[in-house]
Amino acid sequence: MKIPVLIMALFCAGVGAANTVEVVWNYEPPAGHVDTSPALGDLDGDGRMDIVLGTIAGVVVALDVNARELWRHEMRSTICVPPAVADVTGDGRLNVAVMDRQGRVHCLSGSTGDVVWEATLPNTLYWGETVLAVGDVTDDGNLEIVTGDGHSGVVCLNGKGETLWVYRGDHGITQAPAIADLAGDGVVRILVGGDKIPLVCLSAEGRELWRSENGIGSSPLVYDITGDGANEILVGVNEYFTARDISGKEIWRYQMQREMDSAITVADADGNGDVEIYVADLAGNLVSLTPDGQLRWSANVKERVRRSPTVGDVTGDGEQDILVAGYAASLFVFAPDGRLKESVAVPRDVNSSAVIIPMADGAPGVILPVSNDTVRLLRWPGAQPRAVALWPEYRFDSRRAGSPQESAYAPPVELDLCVGDM
């Protein structure tokens, strides 16, 4: 077992570094580096969030918040999509679902890492282009997994690993699916994007219901951004970020500089009662938009961003911080009004969200996997216990379902980090 390098060194930060971030620990995986977002969950039932990592060498590692290894599991190929954490089997205990680049899915015991079941997709994956989205697709009280491959395939697995259905379309590389009750009628829909068709809506049985115009899509997100009780679909189409109604009709669009991957986040970070939409594209253009698509502010984060910005008071100044990690070898920390509070230099690019986790003392830390380098836990000296995190992980939480307002994210015990405010 590799022991994490425990350090309390100051990290290089710019733009007013009086509250300079510290590196609590660096963790070097046993083989390969981490090039996807970590997952969080209380795997061992001790009331603290644990961390699940997948490496390009195919190793899955579970750590506690102090970087002590709980267990490890080896896949046969590269892991380039994030693990998911949920009670997939319905026995009241958390599972970890992981998938390698060959499309092999393993459902593991969250407490031991033992294999519960295995499944295989019909085709292989493209690097980092999908997720294992977990939700109650069949409306029977049990959870299913929906995922996709690099060849227009979408697959739904039940809690035993059995294939419920396979959709074979022509949308191209399947982006991260969204699982949501679009109409609020108790009927679940599956939304997928691709690099040929930006948005396809499937029934809970895997039947295509509608599709959008041709173009390059992003990973869709479902959210009632206007607060009127009706969901909107947020998705990139070519260089435009769009909001659509539940039939796929465009409501508004905002022109970005390039296409988008899955860097879409919704939160009321400024606390005024209306949510803001935070979107970053593959040119490093970050924008904050109003619910009707008007620009609040924009910033240049220099290089492409593929994963969701995260939102939480990590610096301890009482306001929400917007954390953006990408390929500029920096973690950018913005205030809700767009002020750059600081940029934290890291050795290389980051293909992960900056994941917010409660540490042992209840104050928030930030997990940041750096490509071809270590995974590190960052902490600001002013970080306060019971800080609020409005959007702590990639696609909100470790179910990756792309519908935060429907998320059943509920820690088994009260944590010092209050997740969500919806």
Q: Strand locations in 28-103, DSSP E? A: 39-41, 50-54, 59-63, 69-74, 84-86, 95-99
Six-digit token pair at 201?
């809506």
Domain with 168 in it: what CATH number? 2.130.10.10
pLDDT band at 279 (very low <50, low <70, confident <90, very high): very high
pLDDT band at 414 (very low <50, low <70, confident <90, very high): very low
Residue tagged 């500029």 (tokens) = 328
Residue tagged 């939700």 (tokens) = 135
pLDDT, residue 322, reads 99
- Segments forming the whole domain that contains residue 27: 5-419
Counting residues of the chain whose pLDDT is more than 90, the rounded percentage is 90
Of the candidates 34, 210, 211, 215, which has an alpha carbon nearest to the alpha carbon of residue 128? 34
Is 17 strand, coil or helix? coil
Distance CA 296, CA 281 (A): 16
The average confidence (pLDDT) of the chain is 92
The percent of the chain in helix, strand and coil, each rounded to the nearest 5, is 0, 40, 60
pLDDT, residue 76, reads 82
pLDDT in tens, 30-59: 999 999 999 999 999 999 999 999 999 999
Cβ count near 422 (within 10 Å): 12
List b or e across 3-37, with b for residues whose CB sees 16 or more CB atoms inside 10 angstroms.
Answer: ebeeeeeebebeeeeeeebbbbbbbebeebbbbbb
Using an 8 Å Cβ cutoff, are 107 and 149 in contact?
Answer: no
- Using CA atoms, how far residue 46 sits from 43, 71, 73, 397, 412, in Å, is 8, 15, 21, 19, 10
Q: How many domains does the chain have?
A: 1
pLDDT, residue 419, reads 44
CA atoms within 13 A on the CB side of 376: 24
Q: Is 152 left (phi over 0), alpha (psi -120 to 50) or beta?
A: left
Query: Which residues are within 8 A (CB) of 166 and not within 5 positions of it... i.e. 6 or more apart?
Result: 122, 153, 154, 155, 156, 206
pLDDT, residue 417, reads 44
- Kindly tell me if the per-residue pLDDT of 410 is higher than 80: no
- Kindly tell me if the per-residue pLDDT of 420 is higher than 50: no
pLDDT, residue 20, reads 86
Q: What is the DSSP letter of 124?
A: -
pLDDT in tens, 360-380: 999 999 999 999 999 999 999
How distant is the alpha carbon of residue 37 from its chain centre?
7
pLDDT, residue 406, reads 79
Residue tagged 């259905």 (tokens) = 165
Is 405 strand, coil or helix? helix
- Which amino acid, residue 16? G
Mean pLDDT within 168-191: 96
Of the candidates 203, 137, 124, which has an alpha carbon nearest to the alpha carbon of residue 167? 203
The string of DSSP letters for 333-381 reads EE-TTS-EEEEEE-SS---S--EEEE-TTS-EEEEEE-TTS-EEEEE-T
pLDDT, residue 14, reads 52
pLDDT in tens, 115-137: 999 999 999 898 878 999 999 99
Distance CA 147, CA 61 (A): 22
Cβ count near 420 (within 10 Å): 17
pLDDT, residue 126, reads 86
pLDDT, residue 242, reads 99
pLDDT in tens, 7-33: 333 444 554 444 689 999 999 999 999
Distance CA 287, CA 299 (A): 6
pLDDT band at 405 (very low <50, low <70, confident <90, very high): confident
Six-digit token pair at 383?
């970080």
- Kindly tell me if the per-residue pLDDT of 213 is higher than 60: yes
pLDDT, residue 374, reads 96
pLDDT, residue 19, reads 60
pLDDT, residue 166, reads 98
pLDDT, residue 7, reads 31
Residue tagged 């479902």 (tokens) = 222
Is 104 strand, coil or helix? strand
- Kindly tell me if the per-residue pLDDT of 204 is higher than 60: yes
